[in-house]
Amino acid sequence: MNIYDALKQVEDKKAEYFKWKHDLRFDRTALKKTEGEFLKAVERKTMNGFIKWEKSQEYKALLLLMLGTQTANDLHEVYQAVLEKAKQGEDVNNFIKLHKEINESAKIANEVFKPMVKEEGTKPSRKLILD
């Protein structure tokens, strides 16, 4: 499950707050709303309810999902940097270690994708399973 799927299961105003606070906008052409603009958009006078919600298990779970995605992106950047050094003959041992770690993680990630049963007259396909 990704952060956007999880946010669909949260009360609308809380989901909007989470996206606003962590800048999870799809439209990067529009400026991020100020606190006042955000409060007006969700028809609230204060942030108190949202601040209280930040202490909840629901909020913490959303935060972990978001951080998991960010960590994967950071790992990609680290991999690219280590790869460039390894190609130049530097840091080859770190590249090998990182490669092994990524392969282990990839095995876990592959469990997300399960082959579908081939139906008669159709091509076999893969199905994304979100837990």
Annotated domain spans of the chain: 3-128
- 16 — phi, psi (to 5°)? -65, -40
Do the Cβ atoms of 50 and 14 come closer than 8 Å? yes
**Which strand (E) or helix (H) includes residue 76?**
helix 57-87
**Which strand (E) or helix (H) includes residue 15?**
helix 12-21
Q: Collapsing DSSP states into helix, strand and coil, what is residue 126?
A: strand
Residues 67-119 pLDDT 10s: 988 888 898 899 999 999 999 988 889 899 988 888 887 777 677 665 544 55
Q: Tell me, what DSSP letter sits at residue 113?
A: E
- Two tokens at 43? 């028809």
Indicate the pTM of the whole model.
0.67
Q: How confident is the model at residue 129 (pLDDT cuts 50, 70, 90)?
A: very low
- C-alpha 58/C-alpha 10 separation (Å) is 8
Predicted local confidence at residue 61, as pLDDT: 93
Do the Cβ atoms of 66 and 3 come closer than 8 Å? yes
Average pLDDT over residues 50-62: 95
Do the Cβ atoms of 53 and 13 come closer than 8 Å? no
- Two tokens at 19? 């996206």
Do the Cβ atoms of 78 and 98 come closer than 8 Å? yes
Predicted local confidence at residue 130, as pLDDT: 45
